[in-house]
Structure 1
Amino acid sequence: MKKLFAFLLLFSSITASASEGTDELPGSPAKKVKSLKVMTYNIHHCNPPSEGTKIDVAAIAQVISKEKPDLVALQEVDVNTERSGKGLNQAKELARLTNMHFFFSKAIDHQGGDYGVAVLSRFPILDSTRFILPIDPAIGGETRTIAAITVDVAQGQKILFASTHLDLKEPNRLSQAELIVKQFASSGLPMILGGDFNALSDSKVIQFLDQTFVRSCQTCAPTIPVKNPNRAIDFIMYKPDSTFKSKSTRVIDEQYASDHLPVVAELDIN
C-alpha cells in the first residue's frame, strides 16, 4: 500500500509535463454521435517483423486509416530513437498521416530517444495526463505508463480515453492494474481503456480489471502471433456506467505491419 501512495505522489509531480506530445489540430465542437469506433494496436515501433530492421510508419497508418476509428490506443511507440530515425516522432507522424490529434506518454529512454504509449483522437484533445505504473524493485521490470486524454465526443459528453502496456511479470501487472483502477476511480467521467495487457482473459489481472471495467468482448479472438494467433492479450474495456454498450469487436487480420493484430470495437453511446 505504501508503494501505491508513493507512485500516486510521483504522478502528481509529473502531470505538469503531460501536455508534451499533444498536437492540437483545428477542430469544431463535437457533433452528436451515437457510437464510437475504438482501436487498440501494439505497433512494434512501426517495424514489420518480416522486414528486418525496416521502419514502416505508413503501413501502420494505412491499417488505422482503413478502419477510420474515432480513438486509437497505441503501444510500443518510438520518438527520436536511433532504430526508428532521429527526428521521427512516430506518434506525431501517425497523427499527421491519419489526420488525428495525438498524445504521447514516455515510458523509458531508448537509443537516444523515447519509447512508450500514445493515443490518437478524431476529437480535439481537451486535457491530457501521463503517469507511471509501479514496478516491484525486488523482481524488476521495464517502466510502463498510462497516456490518458479527455475529449468531447457528443456536444458536451466528455469522456476519458487511455492507452497502456502492462509489464511481462504478473506481480507487476497486478499492482499496475490496481493503480489504474484507483487513479481513475474518482474521475466522474465515462472511460475507455485500450492496451496490451500481456495477460489472458482468465488471468488474475484481467479478472481484477473485470471488477471495474467491462471488456468489449467476453470471448475474445486471439491477437498474437499475427500468423496463426493463439491467445488474446490486447483488449478494449470501458467503465460500466451506462454510457457505453459494446456493439461488436473484431480482430483485424493484418499480418505485415506489426507483431500484434489490431483490435477494433464499436461502442454505442447511450
Structure 2
Amino acid sequence: VGLGPAMIRVVVLGIAVVSAVCGVLEADDSLETWEFWPRTRRQVRPTGRRKQISDSFEGKEGPFLGGGVTRPCLVDAFTRERAHAGCNQGYGSVLWNFTDISIHSRALREVLQFIPREVPALSHRDLAAAELVRAVRFDLRYTDDSGGTQLAMEMSDGGGLRFWNPVNLGSMFFLELEAAASSPPLVHRAAVAQTKAGHHTVFQYYAFPAITAARGPPPALPLSLTCMTFNVWNVNPPSYLYRDPEARWQRYSSRLDQLAQVVRSTNPDIIALQEVRHDDLFGPPNQPRASSSSSQIRHIVDRLPGYQYVYHPAMMYLSRERGGTVREEEGPAILSRFPILNARHLLLPRDVHDGEDEHQRACLHAQVLVEGWGVVDVYSTHFSLSEKGRDRSVGSILDLMHQGEGSLQVLMGDLNAEPQERAMRFLRGEADIGGHTGDLRDAWLDLHPEPKPGSTDPWEVKHALTFPSCNPVKRIDYIYWRQGPPAGPSRKVELKSCDVRGQDPTVETQGYHREGLGMLDMDSPVWASDHRAVVSTFELS
C-alpha cells in the first residue's frame, strides 16, 4: 500500500514520539513517574514491582516508638488536629494529606450535589440555605513503609509503555455546614468518600444543635439508654466460595436483612459496629457500579433509618492483582438516635514486624448528646489478633477515655480476647500493664457469671458465648463502662441489663443442620454475622 507525503510525515512523527517515550522508559531506574496516563490500545496493568517515592511527611518525632512499634495517633479529620507530629497517617497505610479546598471547586460542587441522595435529613433546599463553614479534602495516598513515603507501582501495557504510578485510591471530603435559619439552628457534618472512578458515598452524617444548652425543664428521672455492639462480618460470604456474583449478593443481602432484624428487635439507642467494609468491586450485580452500592455502611443504614452515623476505616487493603486504583478498607462505626456532637479516631499502636499485628486497628470515639444525660462518650473498636498488640491497645484507649467528658463512657467492640487474658483484666482493674491499670466495668460480669470457654451448658452456649455464631465457644465481644464525673454526686448511672442477641439464623434456614456445619458452608443456616451482638441498658437515676 502506497503512502502519501502527509501520511508518511504522521507515521514518522508517531515513530519518533514512541521511540522517545520508550527511550526514556527503557531502563527501570529511569522510568518516569506519572500521576495519570493517556489511553492506550493495550490495558495498563501493574507489573508487581513497587517502590517508595517522594518524601511525604515532615514530622520531627517520626512514626515509631521504637522496635517497629508505631505511635498511637488521635486524629480529628474535620479540624485536621492530630495528637503529635509523629502522626503521619490519616489511617492505616494512608498518608496524612489534609488540605483545605475552595468553595468554587468542581469536586466540592459534585459532593454537595450528591449528599441529599443518601441523606434524607439534608435536602437540596437545606443545603442551599446553609453556610459552608469547613471543607477539607483528604487524598488517599498509600504508603508501604509505615508512613514515611508514598508507594508507587510499576505499570505496563505489555508493550513498550512502562512507568511508575503513585498509588492514590481516591479522596475523602469532610464538610461542615451551619443552618442558622432552621429551627433549632443546626450544624451538619458529612464525610464523603470519592473513588478514583468519581463515585461517592457518605461515610458519616450527623447534625447537632448550634446551641446545645438545655431548653425547658429537664426530663424526669430515671432515664434509660440502650447500647449494642455488633461485629458485622464485613461483606462475607467471600467471593472464593460464591463464584456467582448474584448468588453471593443474595446470600449477603439475606444476612444483612437478618442483622437489621436483630437490631430492630432490640431497638438500641446507640450501636457500635466493627468490620464495616468498603470494597469498590463489591455490590449488586448487573447494575452500574457506584460507590454507594459498594459501601457496607450504606447497606446497613439504609436498613436502619433514624440513626445518625459515623464510620471511619482503620485499615486499607492493596491488591497487587487489582492494581493501585481499587479501594478496599475496613473499620468501626457508631450509629446513634441522638445527636452526635463530634467524632475522631485513635490509630492504635502496632508492631510492623508482628505478623498477627499486620492490620492497622483503630478506636472510633463519638460524643453523643443524650437528652437528660448530657454528653455520653461512645467508643467502638476491634482489637488486634496479636496478644501483645492488645496489651498495647488497652493502655492507649484508657488514656483516650480519661480525656472524656461524658456522664457515661461506654467502650464496645470485638476485642479478640477472652476474659482471662491480661488486656481484659487490665481494663477491669485486675492486672497491671506498664505500671498502670484500668477502672472499667465489664457489663456482662456485673450481672452474670463468667461462662466457661468451650462450655456445653445449653444456657451458656445460647445466652453467654459470642463467637462463632454457628458453634459459640468463647466470649470476645464486650461492653465496658464507667460513670463519668459530670453525672454528679446527686445522679447515679446503673446497669439494668446485659444480654446476647443474634443467636438465631433466618427463619428460612433454621432447619439446616448436619454434623460440623460451619459459617462458610454453602448449605449452612444464614446467621446475621459470625459474631453475636451484646446489648446493655443503663439507667440514670
Q: Is TM (by shorter chain) over 0.5? A: yes
From the superposition, tell whether residues 78 and 9 of structure 1 become closer, same or farther in structure 2 (CA, over 3 Å).
Answer: closer
| CA distance in 2: counterparts of 1:169 and 1:254, whole angstroms | 30
| SS of aligned partner of 2:419 | coil
Match of 1:55 among 249, 252, 255: 252
Question: TM-score, normalised on structure 2?
Answer: 0.45
Deviation at 1:156, TM superposition (A): 5.9
Q: Distance in 2 between matches of 1:68 and 1:135?
A: 35
* Residue identity matched to 1:137: V
1:157 aligns to 2:428 (yes or no): no
CA 1:67 to 1:180, structure 2 compared with 1: closer, same or farther past 3 Å?
same
Q: How far apart, CA to CA, are the structure 2 residues paired with 1:9 and 1:197?
A: 19
**Which residue matches 2:27?**
none
Letter in 2 for 1:79: H
How far did 1:48 drift? Answer: 5.7
Partner of 1:215: 442
**Which secondary structure does the structure 1 equivalent of 2:303 belong to?**
helix
Q: 2:498 aligns with which of 237, 249, 253?
A: 249
Aligned to 1:112: 327
The answer to whether the 8 Å contact 1:60/1:257 transfers is yes
Report deviation, 1:245: 1.9
1:78 equivalent to 2:277? Answer yes
2: CA distance between counterparts of 1:165 and 1:154? 28
Question: Does the 8 A contact of 2:312 with 2:333 survive in 1?
Answer: yes
Q: Following the alignment from structure 1 to structure 2, what is the Cα–Cα distance between the partners of residues 149 and 61? A: 22
CA RMSD of aligned residues (A): 3.0
Task: Pick from 341, 345, 349 the counterpart of residue 126 of structure 1.
Answer: 341
The alignment status of 1:40 with 2:229, answered yes or no, reads: yes
Distance in 1, matches of 2:313 and 2:225, equals 26
The question of 1:102 aligning with 2:102 is answered: no
Q: What's 2:103 paired with?
A: none
Q: What one-letter code is carried by the residue in structure 1 that aligns with 2:274?
A: Q
Cα distance, 1:80 vs. partner?
3.6
Supply the AA of the counterpart residue of 1:106.
P
Q: Distance in 2 between matches of 1:72 and 1:262?
A: 10
Is 1:269 matched up with 2:512? no
Aligned CA distance change for structure 1 residues 69 and 138 (closer, same or farther; 3 Å): same
Once the two structures are TM-superposed, the CA of residue 26 in structure 1 deviates from its matched residue by 8.6
Question: CA 1:269 to 1:7, structure 2 compared with 1: closer, same or farther past 3 Å?
Answer: same
C-alpha distance 84-6 of structure 1, shift in aligned 2 (>3 A): same
Alpha-carbon spacing, 1:26–1:63, altered in 2? closer, same or farther (3 Å): farther
Change (3 A) 1:84 1:109: farther
**Distance in 2, Cα, partners of 1:22 & 1:159:** 19
Partner SS, residue 398 of structure 2? helix
Report the CA distance shift for 1:40/1:48 in structure 2 as closer, same or farther (over 3 A): farther
Distance across 1 between alignment mates of 2:270 and 2:74 = 29
Query: What is the TM-score with the length of structure 1 in the denominator?
Result: 0.87
Q: Please tell me whether the aligned partners of residues 73 and 120 of structure 1 are also in contact (alpha carbons under 8 angstroms).
A: yes
1:24 is aligned to 2:193:
no
SS of the equivalent of 1:199 reads: coil
Deviations 1:1-31 (A, max 9, x none): 9468932477535498786332136999898
Which structure has more RCO (C-alpha within 8 Å, separation ≥ 6)? 1
137-146 or 158-167, larger mean C-alpha shift: 137-146
Q: Which runs of 5+ in 1 are unaligned?
A: none
Partner residue of 2:482? 239
Change (3 A) 1:209 1:236: same
The amino acid of 1:120's aligned partner reads: L
Kindly state the Cα deviation for residue 201 of structure 1 after the two structures are TM-superposed: 1.0
Q: Is 1-10 or 192-201 further displaced after alignment?
A: 1-10
Identical aligned residues as a percent:
26
Alignment-mate amino acid for residue 160 of structure 1: D
Structure 2 CA distance for partners of 1:159 and 1:230, relative to 1, 3 Å = same
C-alpha deviation, 1:251, in angstroms: 0.8
Which of 291, 294, 298 pairs up with 1:92? 298
AA matched with 2:474 = R
CA distance in 1, matches of 2:328, 2:392: 27
Measured after TM superposition, the shift of residue 46 of structure 1 is 4.7
User: Structure 1, residues 200-230: CA drift from partner, whole Å, max 9, x if none?
Assistant: 1111010011122111111351101213312
Match of 1:194 in 2: 412
* CA-CA distance at 1:267 after TM superposition: 1.3
Highest CA radius of gyration, 1 or 2?
A: 2
Structure 1 residues 166 and 84: CA distance shift in structure 2, 3 A: farther
TM-superposed CA distance for 1:96, in Å, is 3.0
